[in-house]
Chain A
């Protein structure tokens, strides 16, 4: 089932009544989620991604715009008629019910011809439990489960009605680091096994990059960029997206362009033909540096962190925001620590320049 969002907008009255006016949580969000894809809504907290999710599942009504599931307009339908399953950040398991009853709870609300017998409910619950591998836990109460197990129960509960769309609201943020890695693989597996169109909200770019087919980067209610994770990483449309994606983060420099050359400090570091002269912000991915004794960009060497396969060179440059820049180079490249200076050449496809509004300026 594909999901189509048309000009989806949500405005809230301002909390500070004296200030008046409205807060735009989601601003004309247009997007089409292809059938069977896993899509990540990514952005810092308060960017409107959860509001968008709540509108898709029907818990909040959009101020403007329409939502389609397939060809059907579901904008005015209540959540239970949309056929969605949702997993909340804190899982929202009913603490007084055991796992089995938690999973069958959604089925108890079915009416009319959809109504199920106790036996059928049980069967469906076990089916869903099997998918997330928690069949042995059915009699336990949520308080007797680990975080990861609770997570699985929540997913089973969301899947038991065989929803057309599965929504996950920060599903991993309550888990510890090790479990997070494991669970995100698990979510990917379940999504691929069931083929359910899945929308996943997260503020963790690594999480989004690693398992989604497509990411939507949002900030302040506005969509900045939509695309395949690698494409967005390699080709950010603006400074925000460039800064938000990638660990370690992109290095930002004050720079200017003069007659087709990009200057950082006084050093000409790159040919940028076709870019107008003026001041720009340059972003260089950590892997965009090539160690070269005759390199164009010179920095004060600070320290070297060995990370096994790679080496992270930490150095300083006055033009760099925060002074410290971090570059990642292959471990074979030996860094002479006795020298105070280190010089780099730059990979052209890892350097992005942005105008004063933060918009990307393409290099010729």
Chain B
């Protein structure tokens, strides 16, 4: 709950210049120092392993640089960026990435909310077992789950075609990884299967924060189940929903493993991370690949910005800190 209580200010207070720093007690200072000592090493390591490569990528992206032709390295300014942004392969990859992100986040949100409700309302004896069962897919390494889904749908070794032969459109001759639509279906389905538990966990935390008195009051007032859900529960857990959407959207936008294992970009299923990988690691075009990586990074920042500024996601609110 983020409601603020407005405090009347006196004229004096409004006119007075703000104090530079509030005076902190010795205890507060000691706590801050302890905080830095505890978090400091991790912070330094984070800087080393994230900021340094990001800066290096930004620098490399300004060069025409192929790893196997080090002597031909030349500064070309922003030409790599212009080339990437105007390239049909890049635009196609961006579109596929956005489709995967939007579809998977929407489905995961609905499924995740349903699961969260089940976990929230489940009988106490079953709660532990239920939560563990729901969390199993999230505990599986993405590459492993990608292989599992790939082999399940594979035309030679898969069982899906045999089990679901009665569904119109599915037969033993259906090659899921031979067209864009069916390939994306399997990729997105695998993504949803794996990360819905994550969303449901975040939403469960949100559900737990909704005061039961509000629901009870609504019930007493004669509100139906649906009215209680849409008028009381959902508005009160908006912060948790937005945080779940933001985290998953960022995650889904960087999708790599599923596509790499299942199609490796065949049938127009290349996503941005795969394009960056193929350019930097496969083609050894460090300059061009870095430019794609930087653009990918900027896209992620843009999604964060949109979520936090426009949709006003309150990261602290979701944890119940405010």
Are both chains from one complex?
no
